[in-house]
Amino acid sequence: MGVRVSPPAPGPDCRPILRHPQPALWDPIDGASAGLGLGCHSMAWWGGVFLTAAAVLAISGVAKLGSPQATQRALRSSRLPSSRLAVSCLAVAEVALAAAAVATGSWTAATAVAVIYLAYAVFVATARYRGGPETNCGCFGKGETPPTLLHIVINLVFAAAAGLAATQPTGGLPALVARSPGQAGLLAGYAVLGGWLTYLVLDVLPSMRAVR
């Protein structure tokens, strides 16, 4: 009759290996374990870009509500509905979508953001192809927003970030505030700053050059 050997009890060197799931949109990632050599935590990069895209939508919508004339001309040149009511509806939709993206972070909101930025990329590319000395995409109301290649790229980046955000729906910024107020404040500040810089690059700086 053979001797029965019991398996050794798990000790400090026999701990099971745990596989960590892929981080969600707002979840922190250990930079050291990711090989980044960081002593702190970082977040999924598209989370900040997604909120920046929402901030730009809000800025765009508010600008259109204040001065819809340039947007009307841009829509008219593309043979799209260009009445003041149509521009106002577009502006309200942008603000509402931005609010939904920030507040809920849902699949529906993120997908809608991705779709609208893809549509804007096509619209700007069409305006760029059409050309002309007074070409203006009208994205920010009365400002001089030329349909540049950079504008197209930014729209595509925002669309991609929103598409990635749609794959991992979250509870939005309020949910992050409940879990980590510090990270929420940092991410909100990043989004506001990124949105404002995007507005400056796409609209304010071209307007200053046009005045000279």
Summarised one tens digit per residue, pLDDT across range 59-96 is 999 989 988 888 888 888 888 888 999 999 999 999 99
- Burial (0-12, 13-18, 19+ Cβ within 10 Å), 127: buried
**CA angle, 110 then 162 then 89, to 5°:** 55
State pLDDT tens for residues 42-65.
Answer: 346 678 899 999 999 999 999 899
**CA–CA gap between residue 45 and residue 7 (Å, rounded):** 45
CB atoms within 10 A of CB 83: 12
Averaged over 129-134, what is the pLDDT?
A: 64
How long is the chain? 212
DSSP state letter for 181: H
- For position 32, what pLDDT does the model report? 31
Most confident of 2-16, 33-47, 89-103: 89-103
Averaged over 146-173, what is the pLDDT?
A: 88
Least confident residue range of 14-28, 45-59, 155-169: 14-28
Is 82 in contact with 72 (CB distance < 8 Å)? Answer: yes
**CA angle, 123 then 144 then 148, to 5°:** 45
Rg, C-alpha atoms of the chain = 23
3-class DSSP assignment, residue 30: strand
**H-assigned helices in 37-137:** 45-66, 69-77, 84-104, 107-130
